[in-house]
Amino acid sequence: MAENKDNKMEKLVSLAKRRGFIFQSSEIYGGLNAAYDYGPLGVLLKNNLKQLWWRKFVTERADMVGLDSAIIMHPKVWEASGHIQNFSDPLVDCKQCRRRWRADHLLAGDGAKPGYDKEKPLAEEVKCPTCGGELTTARQFNLMFETRMGPVTDEGVTVYLRPETAGGIFVNFKNVVDTMRQRVPFGIGQIGKAFRNEITTENFIFRTREFEQMEIEYFVHPDHWQESFAEWLQMMRDWCGWIGLPADKVQEAEISEKDRAFYSQRTIDFQFQYPFGQEELYGLAYRTDYDLQQHQKYSGQDLVYTDPITKEKYVPHVIEPSLGVDRSVLAVLLSAYTEIEGGRSTTTTAIKDSEVVLKLPYYLAPITVAVLPLSNKETLAPLASDVFNTLRTVFSTQYDATGSIGKRYRRQDEIGTPFCVTVDFESLEDKAITVRDRDTMAQERVAISEIVDYITGKLPRI
């Protein structure tokens, strides 16, 4: 098996477009920088990831509830959270080619420490990566997308597209406590879009201006945050295994006080070894009671929690496991992408091209089973259609009758389909079909009447 790290990203981007996973947004108009659309297979993969997260992090836990809050919220929400005042990145311009860069990214790329003096230019040795030109003094650039709400622009209220999903959870804390009768410790989970006007976007879907988050705000007693932090840390470790990330590709980084968000007293980043370097994948933060205290102050509402048994009153502290959907998709695809020189066929000794197999966890694969009639002859079509209709009521299923059976196997391997079902002429007599496993290539004859139970039994349950 060969893995060329230099062009793996390029190959994956090509595969993603060619096989219908991810497209450049607005491509017929030349595309829009850092904007991507999930195609037919991409949306299935992404939904499988989100459904797995929701099941493991929310519905299977008695101490969790869900929420779907608005993208546009009252602007005071972001004033209270500190986003209007503090949610910014250091921006520098190249005096020669006029390109703009995040100063901290340039420093990291130059091997320098992330700290810098905002009032002074960057060190002279830090130059524009594009043309080598001199850079301006860093200035702060707010990352929130601003718009106006109302029928008349000049008279409308300034509002923002949410830069994170957490705000909607915090402002609904009291509503959830009152309606769901949850006792601390408990958490609120949410999956939703967030928007950040990033200075620089890069590396396919790794850093974009519109992205999706899977976030939890877990409310705890101030004296017991360490236990909950440790529990969610292990949960996130388990998650990385569930979605097929190799253990040697994932690193945990304890973030120092000077590099943490101002509200955090402890943060651990999960970093993944991408082809372009080791970068942040997920984050786990202890946010203290900062958020509820701020919203209590700015809204004038009482957000003090009263324990229904002990009657103790306090403002809960918060543990936040934050996971990005798009970065998860990218990490999963990179981990699953397997290139085999010479292919996997053992039926011939001839030199063959390399073969790509997307070894996704079976429960994440966009297509679970493909139905492949051995021939296009009319005698096979009705039975193959019956098998397809039976399977598609239970599994994500694709019908593929174009090309040789070998080419169709390879086509399904390339999109990660775990099982291929071949309907042949013998099927007309014995009412059985051949099931091929993606990873082992083992083939087994299974009765048509038993095919749903067979596939169900082969799918791992976590």
Cα Rg for the chain, rounded, in angstroms? 26
Distance separating alpha carbons of residues 249 and 256, to the nearest angstrom = 22
Question: Can you read off the two tokens belonging to residue 398?
Answer: 């694709």
Per CATH, which fold does 88-142 belong to?
A: Herpes Virus-1 (3.30.40)
- What's 418's DSSP letter? S
CATH topology classification for 8-72+149-335: BirA Bifunctional Protein; domain 2 (3.30.930)
Apex CA 78: angle with CA 66 and CA 69, to 5°?
Answer: 20
pLDDT band of 102, cuts 50, 70, 90: low
One-letter amino acid of 425? F
What is the pLDDT averaged over residues 358-374? Answer: 97
Phi, then psi, of 238 in degrees rounded to 5 = -60, -40
Q: Which fold has domain 367-458?
A: Rossmann fold (3.40.50)
| pTM, full prediction | 0.88
DSSP letter, residue 346: -
User: CA 77 to CA 289: how far, in whole Å?
Assistant: 16
Question: What band does 346 get if pLDDT is binned at 50, 70 and 90?
Answer: low
DSSP letters spanning 352-377: ---EEEE---TTT-S-SEEEEES---
Please, which pLDDT band fits residue 218 given cuts at 50, 70 and 90? very high
Rounded CA separation 71/1 (Å): 45
Q: Which sign, positive or negative, has the C-alpha torsion 335, 327, 48, 43?
A: negative
List, in sequence order, every residue forming a beta bridge with 39; answer none if it has no partner. Answer: none
The secondary structure of 242-274 as a DSSP string is HTT--GGGEEEEEPPGGGS-TT-SEEEEEEEEE
pLDDT at 128: 82
The predicted pLDDT at position 360 comes to 98
User: The tokens of 102 are what?
Assistant: 């995040």
Q: How far is CA 347 from CA 227, 343, 351, 352, 390, in A?
A: 56, 11, 12, 11, 32
**Residue carrying structure tokens 């399977």:** 391
Q: Would you say 436 and 345 are in contact if contact means Cβ atoms under 8 Å apart?
A: no
Q: Tens of pLDDT along 37-69?
A: 999 999 999 999 999 999 999 999 999 999 999
**Average pLDDT, integer, range 362-374:** 97
354 to 6, 7, 141, 406: CA distances (angstroms): 17, 15, 46, 14
Can you spell out the DSSP letters for 64-93? EEE----SB--HHHHHHHTHHHH-EEEEEE
Residue 423: partners with Cβ closer than 8 Å, 6 or more residues away: 371, 372, 373, 374, 380, 383, 384, 387, 433
> Which of the two residues, 421 and 111, has the higher pLDDT score?
421
Q: Which two tokens stand for residue 75?
A: 């602007």
* Average pLDDT, integer, range 251-262: 93
- Rounded CA-CA distance 37/74 in Å is 29
β-strand partners of 65? 188
Using N-to-C axis directions, what is the helix angle for 40-54 and 325-336, rounded to 10°? 110
Whole-angstrom Cα distance, residue 222 to residue 289? 8
Using the predicted structure, report yes or no on whether residue 268 has a pLDDT greater than 80: yes
Mean pLDDT of the chain: 90
Helix (H, G, I), strand (E, B) or coil at 18: helix
List phi, psi (to 5°) of 356: -105, 130
Structure-block tokens of residue 426 = 């013998």
- Cα 84 from chain centroid? 26
- Which string of b and e fits 37-47 if b means at least 16 CB within 10 Å? ebbebbebbbe
Res 3: pLDDT:
46
Strand 419-423 versus strand 397-399 pairing type: unpaired
The DSSP result for 27-59, as a single string, is GGGT--TT-EEE-HHHHHHHHHHHHHHHIIIII
Confidence grade of residue 84 (pLDDT, cut at 50, 70, 90): confident
Phi, psi (degrees; rounded to nearest 5) at 215 = -130, 150
Amino acid at the residue 104: D
89 falls in which pLDDT band (50, 70, 90)? low
Q: What's the Cα-to-Cα distance from 306 to each of 178, 219, 296, rounded to whole Å?
A: 11, 13, 15
Q: Residue 209, Cβ neighbours under 10 Å: how many?
A: 17
Report which secondary-structure segment, H or E, holds 339: strand 337-340
pLDDT given at position 116:
44
- Residue 1 predicted with pLDDT over 60: no
Helices 8-18 and 325-336: angle between axes, nearest 10 degrees: 110
Domain coordinates in residue numbering, the chain: 8-72+149-335, 88-142, 367-458
Per-residue pLDDT band for 246 (boundaries 50, 70, 90) equals very high
- Exposure pattern of 258-275 as b/e (b: 16+ CB <10 Å)? eebeebbebbbbbbbbbb
